[in-house]
Amino acid sequence: MTGIDHVVLAARDLAAISAFYERLGFTLTPQAQHPFGTGNRLAQLQGSFIELLSVTKPADVPEAGAGEFSFGAYNREYLKAGEGMSMLALTSDGWEVDRARFERAGFKLPAPFAFGRKARQPDGSEVKLDFRLTILTDPALPRAPFFTCNHLHPAHVFWKPAYQTHANGATRVAGVHMVAETPEAHIGLLKRLFGAVVPINGGICAGLDEAAFCVLEPEAFAETFPGARVPAVPAGQLLFAGFDVATGDFPAAEALWRENGVPFRRIGSRIFVPGDDAFGCLISLSAG
């Protein structure tokens, strides 16, 4: 069983989305720069994180060669059509293991993708981080690729308690929602990706380690998040529409959002900001 490593939220203005997520009560890491033209800031949780990303150095973005995937070029093209969750990173068993598993499942994979970047520590010092990504694309996922993220650096170099403490009490990414006109048409794809898939009313779900993953019909997404605009999904495709974050102090999170003037809605024990007000990707907080 795999889990969620992080969600990638692409925005045209990194400073603007960073300010919004700080308003939501997230502590963010200092801005970092990838060698392929994108910059990011992270909200580290307990074992998963939110990546806020933008194309910050367009001249450094490489085009994809034959059999390659360009992280920078993909997100650049994604942002031409709109902002939102551009990718989902799953936990890794080691990039060689991940690659072999996806190939056995029948996926045709681009060349292995490796990179490093500098990260500023809470004390102001810098360290080098080292990643290996196994990118998984499919004709049904032109604007929603998955990848596994193999962290080759020691855990203590990346995860920092000072960055994992949030005013909204956030603890982990608890779920991801996709939208498709006909979710059941993608059962085969998701079984190859996740293994077990179960039908639910208005969609299908897969169980992840400490998280949920669901593909919903547009009507079911609208019922789950009343008042939220449903993304327009091209026929035969899936799109990321939103994600859930667990909080250890739901009353405090709701009070904080109210105090900060966040345009949220509440349904039961969940508060959420529709994608139109959250840089194209709905975010919800719930107790857990």
Of 234, 235, 202, 206, the C-alpha closest to 220 is: 202
Q: Which two tokens stand for residue 214?
A: 């669901």
Asked if residue 285 lies in contact with residue 272, where contact means CB atoms within 8 angstroms, the answer is yes
CA distances from 35 to 147, 169, 171, 203 (A): 19, 33, 30, 39
Of 231, 221, 188, 166, the C-alpha closest to 22 is: 166
What gap in Å lies between CA 278 and CA 242, rounded to an integer?
10
What gap in Å lies between CA 180 and CA 153, rounded to an integer?
37
Of 113, 67, 111, 68, the C-alpha closest to 92 is: 113
Strand pairing report for 126-136 and 282-287 = unpaired
Give the three-class secondary structure for 102: helix
DSSP state of 275: G
User: What domains does the chain contain, in order, with CATH numbers?
Assistant: 4-163 (3.10.180.10), 170-287 (3.10.180.10)
Q: What is the pLDDT of residue 1?
A: 64
Strand pairing report for 265-267 and 146-151 = unpaired
What gap in Å lies between CA 272 and CA 254, rounded to an integer?
10
Residues of the chain with pLDDT under 50: none
What is the sign, positive or negative, of the torsion defined by CA atoms of 224, 227, 231, 235? positive
Beta bridge partners of 270: 267, 286
CB burial of 230-243 (b: ≥16 within 10 Å; e: otherwise) equals bbebeeebbbbbbb
249 residue type, one letter: D
Strand pairing report for 4-10 and 49-55 = parallel
How many C-beta neighbours within 10 Å does residue 263 have?
10
Within the chain, strands assigned E span 4-10, 32-33, 38-44, 49-55, 84-91, 113-120, 126-136, 146-151, 170-179, 197-200, 203-208, 211-216, 239-247, 265-267, 270-273, 282-287
Instruction: State phi, psi for 258 to the nearest 5 degrees.
Output: -65, -45
Asked if residue 185 lies in contact with residue 239, where contact means CB atoms within 8 angstroms, the answer is no
pTM for this structure? 0.97
Q: State pLDDT tens for residues 110-140.
A: 999 999 999 999 999 999 999 999 999 999 9
